[in-house]
Each structure stands twice: as C-alpha cells, then as structure tokens.
Structure 1
Amino acid sequence: MIELGKMDKDLRGIHEASMVILEQTGMIFHHPKVIEIMQQKGIRTEGRTAFFTREQVMEWVSKAPGKFKMYARNQNYDFEVGGDNVEVCPASGSPFVCEVNGKKRDASMSDYVKFLKLYHQSSLYKANGGGVVQPTDIGQSTIPLLLYATLLYSDKAIVTGTGNAEEVEQLMDMLGIVFGGKKALAEKPRSMAIVNTNTPLQFDTKMLETMMVFNRYKQPVVIAAASMAGTTAPVTLAAAIALTNAEVLAGIAVAQMINEGTPVVYGSQSTTSDMRTGSIAIGAPEGALAYQYAARLAKCYGLPCRGGGSLTDAKTLSVQAGFESMLTLLASYSAKTNLIFQSAGIMDSYNAMCYEKFIVDLEIIGMVKRYVNGVKVDTQTLAVDVINEVGPAGQFLTTDHTMKHFRKEPFLPDVSLRGAVTGDPDQKLMDNIRIKMDKMLAGYCQPEMSMELKNRLIDYLLTCGYDRKLIESLD
C-alpha cells in the first residue's frame, strides 16, 4: 500500500522531483515491444522515450505486491521479502579475484564453485548463485552453466544472471525441469534477477528482455539503479537520489504493465563519484545515505527494497576495507533493507572478489546483526536479583545467570583478536581468517540431487550447445 502521507519533508521533495523528471524529461526504453505495451496502457511516448504522469506511475506501482516469499529447493531456506525482514544475498558481477596483497587475476569457474560452497556453508545466507564472479575460462555464454552449478552446489533460494531473451528463457527451462514445469513457476517465486537501469534514464535491451521473461513466469526482479553523483547523475546527493527514484519507479511500473502483480523489488546501488578521478566510490558515506533513503522511499511506496552491502573501494584487505564495509552494511541493515546484495567478499569498487574479505565480511554481518537487535529489557536480562545476590565486590562469571545466557547474549567473534596475543597479531588475524575458511570448505556437504534430475539438466545443456566435458567438469 502506497503511503505518501508518511513521507517527511525531505522524502516528499525527492518524490516530487522524481515525478517531474518522469513527466517532463521521460525515460528511454530500448525495446519496441516494451514501447508497444506502454502505448497500449496509455503512456505517452515519443520514439523510444516514455513520459509518465504521476497518476500513472502511482497507479501501476500500487499493483506490485508489498511482500512475497522466495521458495528454495530446500524449504529450510524459504524466506519472506518485504516488511522489516532483512536477508543478506551474494555478491555479483566481479571479473577478478583479488589476493590479500592486492594482486588480481581473472576469475574462473572453479572460483565460482568455491564461492557457491562458501555462501552455502554460511548460516547467514538463505540465497545463493547469480554472477558471484564472472568466469573467463568458459569461452561462451555462462548464464545457463552458472545456474547449473548453483543447482549442483546449493539448495538455497536461487539468484540468476541476466541475458537476452533466449538465454533467460533457457534459465526458465532449467528451473522448469527442477520445479515441475515452467507453468508451475508462476505459482511460486523460485529465482530472482537484478535488472539494472542505465543511468541516466535508460533501460537497455538485455535488461528489458530479462524483465519480460521473468515477469512472464512471475519470477521476481530487483529493479535497481546505480547512479554516480557527479558523473551519471547530478553531483548533489538529493538530485542523484531523485534520479534513482525516477528510474526505479518507472521500471516497476513497466513490470506491472507487462504482467500485473508480478513481484518486484525497489533497488538502489547509487552512490557518489570521486570528483578527483571520476571513478565510482562505493564505500563512500554518500552511498550509505543513498541506501538509507532508498529503503525509506520504498517503504512509503509499499515495496520491498534492496541496497547496500559490505562495500569498499580498497584494493587490498586493509583498514580501509574494514571501515568502509562496516559503514555501508550498517546503513543498509539499520534501514531494514530487505535484500542486501554484495554483502560478503566484494572489493575494489565491484571489480573483484576476495576470499579473505569474504570471511571478514561474515564477521561484520554478525556484528551488525547483533547491534541492530538492540538490548532486550525484561526481568531476566535486568537480573536485579542476581546483582543483589552477588553484592558489592563480587563476581558474576560463575553465576547460574551467566551460565544460562553467555552463549547467546554477547557476540562471539570467529576471527577478531581479543585479549592477550602471542606473536605477530596481524599474522594471527590472517591465520584465524584462513582457519575459518578452511573449516567452512572442509565442512561443506553437497546437497542431494537425483541422477534422473541431474541427467535431465545435462541433456538440456547439451541441446543448448555446451560440450559434455565442460558440463561434467563442474561436478
């Protein structure tokens, strides 16, 4: 339910600016079918540019569900998207893997599988897949292969990549094989994809084709903008947020025109540019503010929202990587952003994934979750009777109250150093990081998949032109 009355003065100003942008400037849609659909719904178009009245935008946005449920292959990983529920989600899009010392190398399919295992092994995650890294050793379209690997190595809720209509239809074919046919997909959201705008004020062909195919089967799309204040958006943050808002609302409206009631997520990865270099600054405080405002706007529009992550522009696993990642994740979590993508492992302005940073980010997520949970105040937690019993100059370490609560009240770090440390503390910290990663990988257990289902997926990939040896090398 849209509740514009809940907007404060600043949100109202951003909303009004977005409405003017969509009505007067318009937005380009690089797909004739989408233009045709909009025309049929009464949207004014000039060539590829569409102009929306505020009434049209709000009418179509109001048709999107405020909440929906993601259904995983393993029902233990089902989760709700919307309201105040927050779920961390995988990283996406990096072409490189970064070593601790900053040296980068091309990502491979083996890296993709290794990250799938780590995300699957973490109890913090209920979703897996997508373009965690972009393998460079495949030599052809990777989209169906990445989905196949995701299905092999995880039974959590599925994130997929994006592509042209044929590639995305192949994803739906594969999901249909797993979940009882393509027609059955419309009954339950089984996968989601991120559909990005091309700021300023454009949707390209591939993104629109992804949207149309996903909408046809009522599979959720995250419609996200990633404007850069000062380069692809005005330098003032208010204007950049208003531009982001206009793009996302237009995308959500069009998604409802394509298939009314299809689940969508309001997404923002907008931030600022470094005006000394023109490069994106994903670890900047402006990005953290943009994610907070996006979540607040989305909740006033009655929409689920996506943003943030453990984001950094750092080139190595360093103090910069730590303080930037903590800021951006905390901002998103505090705003109750429903889906936080790029939540572990990302660095170097989205260019690379880092195994060691992945482990550090799990620690950051745990700390942030503990912080936002706040303080529970009741008779048990106030423990006045315990304080009276122990009295002045006593100790609480051996009390029954401590024995009852010590495993769940304080956050217990896996890698952080506390207390006395012998030897090099930096080396000890790195040892802890690698010990945890090795333990996670050693404890990984591949989910079951019947040979009949596996063979059907392999046979389908063969019809798509993939080599059998390549397919079998993923197992």
Structure 2
Amino acid sequence: MSEVLVKQIHEASMKILEQAGIRFHHPDALKVLKEHGVRVESGIAYFTEAQVMDWIGKAPATAKIYADDPQYDVVLGGDRSWNAPAAGPTQILETDGTLRPANMADFVKMLKLYEANPSYSINGGVPCQPEKVPEQWSTLLLLYSAFLHSRKSIWSGSGNYEQMEAVIELTKLRYGVTDEELKAKPRIMTIVNTDTPLQFDINMTETMLTFLKYRQPLCVAAASMAGTTSPVTLGGTLAMANAEIISALVLAQMYAPGAPVIYGSQSTNADLRSAAIAIGSPEGALCYKYCGELAQFYGIPSRAGGCLTDAKQLDVQAGYESMLTYYACREGKVNAIFQSAGILNSYLAASFEKMITDFEVIDFADRYLKEFEINDETVPLELIKELGPGEQYLTEEHTLEYCRMETLTPNISARGPMADPAGALKRNIAKRMGKLLDSYQPPVIDKSVLDGMRNLLRSHGISDQDIQNMEID
C-alpha cells in the first residue's frame, strides 16, 4: 500500500508542478531555471515530469559528512537512520516549570549532551537559539561554538551569500582544508526550507547556492500545515510539499549536477480549533514516514521528524507524541532524524529533562528494531531439557552470558520495588544527565587554528566579547 501511495503522491505532485508551478523569488534561481529550459512566467517556474526525473536522477544516492573524528563520519542514504539535534527553540523549560529565554550556557550544555551520547554522530546547528547573540552573525557564531565543542559531523544554519561564504571560510579554517579539499570531503551540511505554499525565498536560495558551490550536503525541507498553508487533506498536503521539495532539488542539480542533496519534510497539520501547528499529531507522523518513503522513491537521502510534541511540559502527552513521531521516522527509514531530543511546545521550547527522556525513546526504538537470532545458542535446548518444568533461569550461566546483549537496561525508566516511586523518574533523569556531562570530552584544537577562526570572526566586525561568549565551557 505504501508503494502505491508514494506513486500516487508523485503523480499528483507532477500535476502541481506543471499546472500551478513554484514561485522563486531570487533572480539567480530564475536565471538557472531558464537556462535549463524550465518555463518561467512572472517568476513562477513550471516543470515537466521529464525534467524532474532527468535532473533528480543526477543526484547521488548518499551524502557523506566527514567529522573531526572519523568514527563520527555520517553517510546519509539507504536504510540507516542517524539521530540529529533539535533546531530552533528560543525558550528553556526549567525543572520547576519556569519558562525563560535560552542562553549560551544552554546551547553549550546541549552540545555536550549530544556529544556524550553514543546514539549521535551529528551535532551543532541551533539546538536552541540563545539570546544576546548578534543577529547578523548568529549562524557563524553558533557554528564556531559547535566547532569548539564537538568532534562529530556538524550541521550549520542558513543565511545570505555573505553569511554563508563566512560559514564556508570558518569551516575551511577549522579543518585546515582548501576549497577543493572541502568539495572532495564535505565537512558540514545545512537545511533550507521552502516557503509554503509553493514558494522559495531569497535567503534560502542564497544558502542553497553557496552550499552547492562548495558541494556541501544540502537538505531542502517543506513544512506545510494541512488546513492552513496546504490542503486539509493529507494527500493534498503531501503532494504539495513534495512538489515544493522536488522543484528546489531540481534547481540544485541544474546549478551543481551531482552535488549531494537530501529530501526533507517537517510537514504536518494544523489544529483547526486554533490554527496552531500540531507537530506531535498522527498526521504529522505520517508526513514524516512518507518523507522517508518518497526520498527512497527518488533515490536520495531523507530528513524528517524527531521526538516531537505539542505538550507544554514534560508529561504523558510529551511521551506518547514523541514516541509516535520518532518511531514513524524509523518505520519510514528516514536517514537524518533532526529534532530528535528536547523539543516541547511545538518547537517553541526545549527542556534538558525532555532531552534525556527522548534519549530513552531512541534507545527503546533501537532495541525494538534490532533483529534477534534463532540458533543453538539463543535457543539452548540442552539447558531447557536439563531444567525441565518448574525451574528458574535467573542463576544459570546462559542468563549471565546473554542478559546484557538480549535485553535493554533502561537508563531512566522506573522498574521494580522502590521507596519513592513518584520521584524515581526525576532522580533517574538527573543521574543520566550528570553521567553524560561528566563523560563529555572536548575536541583538541591547535592554537593556530583557534587564532585563525577568531581573526575571521573579527574581520566581520564581531567583537572579542561576542567571540568569548561562544567559548564558554
């Protein structure tokens, strides 16, 4: 049934691209499209199915990001899912329920938690948007902080041509590479979003063309809201979002044939009682799942979803919505699962306690999806015969040998008898967080590299105080 639906979504999207078209606001995008035979009228580009399939076919099936530590290199594509940080919340929910603006200490603490968790090979980006960071150079400064705190594969925010060229220069300084070396071994990825409905804006175009120029992996994502910015029907939303994504990916391949691109979607529905976005909904989960399946249809990597919730605090709603949306990504074989830890209140807030519970969701999903074996060792017939009816297996050597391999030992779940069951989860979350922070290891960076990066920041008018704010431990 999924294969049939994917084909139907594709066919509907082709009609949208041919008959409704996509408005591209940047003249550079329109120039590329016209030069490659796309019909453009009044800034709206109309694509034929033949054009779409020809150019999408030039995109590689995988996208690789090289980390500072090679054990964290990431290859997006195929059936493997990679967890990636949250993106964009401006507020932090404290343990006592207080909501406050995010700051740089929060940003760095999040980087450390992702860094210390072995379930992650991707770090950086904007796990929260800290206040008091100069807006013009926020993407550059936060990337600098990520470079200082992570050895993993890094993703970057977006911006205009000047800001993105600075991002590329900082990346080259961090890894000591030339333009050609960076193109040969990509070091960062980014995400650009369509401007739903059926548009692509100026800033996203400049981010996109800069990353393509240097052949760094680029994700194009739609974030349609069924009922407000797209048709209320799931089929209509998926078809329109797919048309937006595909149009930008076609542009990408026309500009830089063979450059690594990623199919992304955070589309979901609106709750029509208030018109508010509903990121933890079953409809959203289906959008995230079909993102993965549509990307596989086109033969390119995917990005979607995460542990998403509209809950305002860490409660039962946060739990069931996050488990559903994360598992939908895994079921759809989404390659890069951003927003995979910490999100609350429809992307507006983050919580450290929510991060730790989402880490547990990831562990549970990993175990559930891990195949088990049937062989002479896992079905110990001789032992079963020897013990016979009515005996126990707890003290058997076979149990001791396999217990850690066969069963997941949760980090925070409250099980068994305890004196204070009501407070057990809270204590376990704090304990898990403390262990991760204690195990954090920063990258080792030569002073000459640090000086080079600082000088680049200064060359863009960034003050020493703002630079120092990024360097907090």
Cross-structure match for 1:452: 448
CA contact (8 A) 2:6 2:297 kept: no
Q: Which amino acid aligns with 1:46?
A: E
Q: TM-score, normalised by structure 2?
A: 0.97
> Identity, % of aligned pairs?
44
Tell me by how many angstroms 1:93 deviates. Answer: 1.0
Cross-structure match for 1:35: 30
Distance 2:224 2:348 in 1: 17
Q: Which amino acid aligns with 1:369?
A: D
Distance 2:240 2:409 in 1: 42
Corresponding pairs, count:
469
Distance 2:75 2:108 in 1: 26
Provide structure 1 residue ranges, at least 5 long, that are not aligned to the other structure.
Answer: 1-5
CA contact (8 A) 2:268 2:284 kept: yes
Distance 2:142 2:16 in 1: 38
Tell me by how many angstroms 1:100 deviates. Answer: 3.7
User: SS of the residue aligned with 1:272?
Assistant: strand
Distance 1:134 1:275 in 2: 28
User: SS of the residue aligned with 2:60?
Assistant: coil
Tell me by how many angstroms 1:184 deviates. Answer: 1.5
CA contact (8 A) 1:27 1:202 kept: yes
CA contact (8 A) 2:63 2:262 kept: no
Cross-structure match for 2:21: 26
Cross-structure match for 2:220: 223
* 1:454-475 residue CA offsets vs partner (Å, 9 max, x unmatched): 1111111111111112212332
Tell me by how many angstroms 1:102 deviates. Answer: 4.1
Q: Is residue 85 from structure 1 mapped to residue 71 from structure 2 by the alignment?
A: no
**Residue in structure 1 matching 2:67, options 62, 72, 90:** 72
* 1:35-59 residue CA offsets vs partner (Å, 9 max, x unmatched): 0010000000012110000000111
CA contact (8 A) 2:64 2:217 kept: no
**Residue in structure 1 matching 2:427, options 421, 427, 431:** 431
CA contact (8 A) 1:99 1:316 kept: no
Q: Is residue 401 from structure 1 mapped to residue 402 from structure 2 by the alignment?
A: no
Cross-structure match for 2:358: 361
Q: Is residue 161 from structure 1 mapped to residue 157 from structure 2 by the alignment?
A: yes
CA contact (8 A) 1:89 1:342 kept: yes
* 1:95-143 residue CA offsets vs partner (Å, 9 max, x unmatched): 1112245432111112111111111011110010001111111233211
Tell me by how many angstroms 1:333 deviates. Answer: 0.9
Distance 2:357 2:240 in 1: 33
Q: Is residue 174 from structure 1 mapped to residue 170 from structure 2 by the alignment?
A: yes
Q: Is residue 129 from structure 1 mapped to residue 129 from structure 2 by the alignment?
A: no
My pick for the range that moved more, 173-182 or 150-159, is: 173-182
Distance 1:357 1:432 in 2: 13
**Residue in structure 2 matching 1:443, options 439, 448, 454:** 439
Residue 213 to residue 368, structure 1, CA distance change in 2 (3 Å): same
Q: Is residue 60 from structure 1 mapped to residue 55 from structure 2 by the alignment?
A: yes
Cross-structure match for 1:189: 186
**Residue in structure 2 matching 1:213, options 210, 224, 243:** 210
Provide structure 2 residue ranges, at least 5 long, that are not aligned to the other structure.
Answer: none
CA contact (8 A) 2:92 2:351 kept: yes
* 1:224-252 residue CA offsets vs partner (Å, 9 max, x unmatched): 00111000010010110111111111111
Tell me by how many angstroms 1:321 deviates. Answer: 0.3
CA contact (8 A) 1:15 1:245 kept: yes
Distance 1:117 1:12 in 2: 42
Distance 1:210 1:37 in 2: 15
Tell me by how many angstroms 1:339 deviates. Answer: 0.6
Q: Is residue 116 from structure 1 mapped to residue 111 from structure 2 by the alignment?
A: yes
Cross-structure match for 2:237: 240
Cross-structure match for 2:44: 49
* 1:182-224 residue CA offsets vs partner (Å, 9 max, x unmatched): 3321101211111100111111101010000000000011110
Q: Is residue 463 from structure 1 mapped to residue 459 from structure 2 by the alignment?
A: yes
Cross-structure match for 1:278: 275
**Residue in structure 2 matching 1:321, options 318, 321, 335:** 318
* 1:148-177 residue CA offsets vs partner (Å, 9 max, x unmatched): 100100010011000111101100001111
Distance 2:94 2:461 in 1: 34
Cross-structure match for 2:410: 413
Q: Is residue 332 from structure 1 mapped to residue 329 from structure 2 by the alignment?
A: yes
CA contact (8 A) 2:91 2:350 kept: yes
My pick for the range that moved more, 433-442 or 272-281, is: 433-442
